[in-house]
Amino acid sequence: MNQLSDYHRDRVQAVLAASPLVPVIAIQNAEDALPLCRALVDGGIRVLEITLRTEHGVRAIEQIRKAIPEAWVGAGTVTSIAQYRQVESAGAQFVITPGVTEAILEFGVTSEAPLLPGISTVSELMMGYAFGYREFKFFPAEVSGGIPAIKAFSGPFPDVTFCPTGGINRKTAADYLALKNVKAVGGSWLTPADAIAAGRWGEITDIARASLADL
């Protein structure tokens, strides 16, 4: 079994250290990608998770990587090795999955784009742990036990840290970040659909800035 390198772990740790809040971005219209991401960065967000929940995700990663070099730009909702290869070619600087398979964990060990694997159970965590992963996305956080679950993980796995995502909002983000084994929190409250649809980019900047100030 191949083992995760220090290089990959260092890169993932750098991503999680760059911003305590990671917006979960689903691009519904291609022309929104750049102004939306620029609005988030203007509000102080330094990590952008562009999901593959829509057909525009891969192209948006290419576009944002070139246009906003000061941000970490990665891919979320990656569910297959084919998608992993696509986003790697598009220039993704990290990859986040909602769950894990042994094949994806193994691919991530040698990928150019380091992997933050998604887990919701101890068994999935142990699968990733065997490959050398120590940083995980905890998803869907709220329905998988939330803060009590993450606290419980720290007993048998004191060297593991998390980026919980799923059901977290601006009011609860700080409570998650108060845990020693949480390095960042992901959420979609930073990208409200109505503001994006109306092109209210200043509102998104204000939400990002205020959300960071709450922490």
pLDDT in tens, 95-150: 999 999 999 999 999 999 999 999 999 999 999 999 999 999 999 999 999 999 99
137 included as an active-site residue: yes
Whole-number Å distance between alpha carbons of 150 and 116: 16
Contact present, 150 and 164 (Cβ < 8 Å)? yes
Provide CB contacts within 8 A for 209, sequence distance 6+.
43, 44
What is the pLDDT at residue 3? 93
Catalytic member of 49, 88, 135, 142: 49
Confidence of residue 1 (pLDDT cuts 50, 70, 90): confident
Confidence of residue 86 (pLDDT cuts 50, 70, 90): very high
pLDDT at 157: 98
Looking at residue 125, what is its pLDDT?
98
Q: Of 135, 137, 142, 183, which one is the catalytic site residue? A: 137
So what's the pLDDT on residue 112?
A: 92
Answer yes or no: 49 catalytic: yes
Q: How much is the average pLDDT of 150-156?
A: 98
- Residue 92 to residues 38, 56, 76: CA-CA distances in angstroms? 17, 14, 10
Give 21-69 pLDDT, tens digit per residue: 999 999 999 999 999 999 999 999 999 999 999 999 999 999 999 999 9
Domains in the chain with CATH codes: 6-213 (3.20.20.70)
- Whether the link from the prior residue into 140 is cis, omega within 30° of 0, is yes
Residues 207 and 187: beta-carbon distance below 8 Å: no
For residue 2, pLDDT over 90 is answered with no
